[in-house]
Amino acid sequence: MEPDKCEKLKSTEEQSLFERVFESALWSSRLIVILAVIFGIFSVFLLFIAGSAEILGSFREAVVLSSMEVDYTTLLSGIIGGVDLYLIGMVLLIFSFGIYELAISKIDVARCSESYHSLLEIENLDDLKNKIIKVIIMVLIVSFFQRVLSMKFTSSTDMLFMAASIGVICIGVFFLQKHKV
């Protein structure tokens, strides 16, 4: 803490016992965030395992070795589903890192590492929110394309709506990238 800020605070002698105990308990209550961090990281592992299982399962379904045939729609749908789960896992990883650093402590081991990435560097709640929103948008785009693969087109209007949807997504991604600082 800066020396100027500490000078403005009450000394221990100036505080009542109740005030000292209450403020200490209030400050310590932020440690409840550790539950969200632990379960967030646990969820990341589960999502990465589920994403890998999705990809392996789609490969098993799509590739018939006896006839050397490949159902590319099933294969791509499974791979995109796996990527979707990985991206959701990344949302939870960013969330877990972010709330830990905001509420508890900076992760010194990570900051000293050469592989520390700006993706996990979070200075305030707005940083955390913006990073999570960007990954969620990517999850929605990937989910959209997974749905497009399994769509059955019954008329030219269906194709027109799909093309318009893809165009709107492209425009949205363009403005999202343009907004980068």
Q: What is the structure's pLDDT at 38?
A: 95
Report which of residues 137 and 43 the model is more confident about: 43
131 near 94, Cβ under 8 Å? yes
Burial 134-144 (b: 16+ CB within 10 A, else e): bbeebbebbbe
Q: What is the structure's pLDDT at 119?
A: 62
Give the global pTM. 0.72
70 near 63, Cβ under 8 Å? yes
Per-domain residue ranges of the chain: 16-150
Q: What is the structure's pLDDT at 118?
A: 67
pLDDT at 179 over 80: no
> Bridge-partner residues for 63, per DSSP?
70
Within a 10 A sphere around the Cβ of 77, how many other Cβ atoms?
A: 21
List pLDDT tens digits, range 84-118.
999 999 989 988 988 998 888 887 777 777 766 66
pLDDT at 1 over 60: no
Q: What is the structure's pLDDT at 131?
A: 80
List pLDDT tens digits, range 124-172.
888 888 888 878 888 888 888 777 777 777 888 877 887 888 888 888 7
34/99 Cα distance (integer angstroms): 9
89/45 Cα distance (integer angstroms): 8
Element (H, E) at 101: helix 72-103
Q: What is the structure's pLDDT at 113?
A: 73
Report which of residues 78 and 47 the model is more confident about: 47
User: Percent of the chain having pLDDT more than 70?
Assistant: 90
Q: What is the structure's pLDDT at 116?
A: 66
Three-class SS state of 69: strand
Q: What is the structure's pLDDT at 46?
A: 97
